[in-house]
Amino acid sequence: MVRSVREVYDEGQAAGRLRVPLAAWRWAAGSGLVPPADAGPGLWSRAAVEAADPEAVRAALRGPIGAGVAADRLTEALGEPLRCRPRVTAAAVGHLAGAGLLVRLGGGAEFPDVHPDQVAALARRRDLSALLDRHVPLGPDQAARRLGVRRVDFDQVVRLGWVAPAGSVEIDYKRQGGVTTVPLYCAEDVALLPVVRPLVGWRAVYAAPAGARSPLAALDPVVPGRDWALLAEMARMARMARVGRAAVARWRCRHADFPAPVGGTDVHPQFDRAAAVAWLLAYDKIGVPVGMPSASLVVVGAGRRTFQFRLDDPRLVLADGAEGQDQLSGWSTNADADELAALTAEASGASVSRLTAPATEPLAVLGEVRVIERLR
């Protein structure tokens, strides 16, 4: 009896041939320690497997970590999420592995075990926020957090037809209702909403207190197939590029692939919003916000001690006259809000030293600081 010799190996057979754990072979393949699959997707030739060093493959694998631990480490790398960033979940780690950013060493595809060194390398990437938005869909509660609004406001966003589910997942709540299908939304689409809907009063939505009716409830849903935008609105979408309607009109003349009008008039043409957004993204005229813009507020307290606070989405409204009060608002951590309130409550009070926002010169506003209102 002639025994046939295997010529092609999948990952399990390759690990068995070298007598190493399957996780070790997966890590060796994912990290480039062994040659890439040369006999088809996920398949290696006998020559490639036999050329691998079993001891090196075995030694390269340190103890894998679970998806939950990896999620905690990535959340920590993001820093304090403030208003706009949900925690990284174990399911998100599964999506990152599915996108090829992490190697699944074991466990299920939804909640894989991964290599701690690879998680650490991913955590150090400056584009970690963008990678999460690109590859990890969000449930409704997570999407509301990413947008920086209440869940009731995000439900209105869905009702208005501004975002649509990109998929769904079934979750078993066991004693709380059994299996429920939960829609999932593209995080990039959610994060882009304030950019692509510039005529919406987002500041009022952000500031809506708990229990209040959503400011979006009074708006009418978009008519399917008629979600259009004027050139002026496209200019407002690209306001970070500091352009106006005339600049957008020049883009239209200069670029042959600029979206064609779908309605309106020759003077005021209308464009399909999705096509307009896709074009603006492709030409880097707009970008996906990774969070709210932030500013640094330096306050001088008792004994001339200085205190620095971070404000997200800062807004400074200067009074018309010297007798009026300038008003500065923004989102901060609870700890910063508590400390600022305590400083202003002291008998000696506190005053602004400077306010610095990105792409602006530092601004000093003379006078004492008083906390008018706080929203949690």
pLDDT tens-digit profile of 11-27? 999 999 999 999 999 99
Q: Is the pLDDT of residue 3 over 80?
A: no
Instruction: Report long-range pairs for 276-285 (Cβ below 8 Å, ≥24 apart).
Output: 276/229, 276/234, 276/237, 277/192, 277/196, 277/237, 279/255, 280/234, 280/237, 280/238, 283/251, 283/255, 285/237, 285/238, 285/241, 285/243, 285/251
pLDDT for res 335: 85
pLDDT for res 192: 95
Distances, alpha carbon 267 to alpha carbons 41, 172, 226, 262, in Å: 54, 55, 19, 13
Rounded CA separation 225/342 (Å): 53
Rounded CA separation 15/21 (Å): 6
Measuring CA to CA, which residue among 96, 86, 89, 92 is closest to residue 72?
Answer: 89
Measuring CA to CA, which residue among 129, 128, 138, 126 is closest to residue 187?
Answer: 138
For range 200-219, the mean pLDDT: 91
Share of the chain above pLDDT 90, in %: 59
Rounded CA separation 145/150 (Å): 7
Residue 313 binned pLDDT confidence (cut-offs 50, 70, 90): confident
Cβ neighbours for 331, distance < 8 A, ≥ 6 positions apart:
82, 83, 148, 206, 292, 311, 312, 313
For range 182-209, the mean pLDDT: 92
**What burial letters (b/e) apply to 71-104, b meaning 16+ CB within 10 Å?**
bbbbbebbeeebbbbbebbbbbbbbbbeeebbbb
Q: Is the pLDDT of residue 79 over 90?
A: no
The pair phi, psi for residue 291, each rounded to 5°, is 170, 180
Q: Looking up tokens 């905690």, which residue turns up?
A: 72
Q: Is the pLDDT of residue 228 over 80?
A: yes
- Cβ pair 138, 185 in contact under 8 A: yes
Distances, alpha carbon 209 to alpha carbons 187, 205, 212, in Å: 24, 9, 6
pLDDT for res 123: 96
Q: Looking up tokens 């929203």, which residue turns up?
A: 375
Mean pLDDT of the chain: 88
The pair phi, psi for residue 80, each rounded to 5°, is -65, 125
For range 59-85, the mean pLDDT: 87
- Cβ pair 122, 101 in contact under 8 A: yes
pLDDT for res 366: 67
Residue 46 binned pLDDT confidence (cut-offs 50, 70, 90): very high
pLDDT for res 362: 65
Predicted model pTM: 0.80
Rounded CA separation 141/77 (Å): 22
Rounded CA separation 129/148 (Å): 15
User: Which pLDDT tens digit goes with each residue over 232-247?
Assistant: 999 999 876 677 889 9
Residue 250 binned pLDDT confidence (cut-offs 50, 70, 90): very high
Residue type, 107: G
SS3 13: helix
SS3 272: strand
Q: Is the pLDDT of residue 275 over 90?
A: yes
Residue 249 binned pLDDT confidence (cut-offs 50, 70, 90): very high
Crossing angle, helix 67-78 and helix 128-135, to 10 degrees?
130
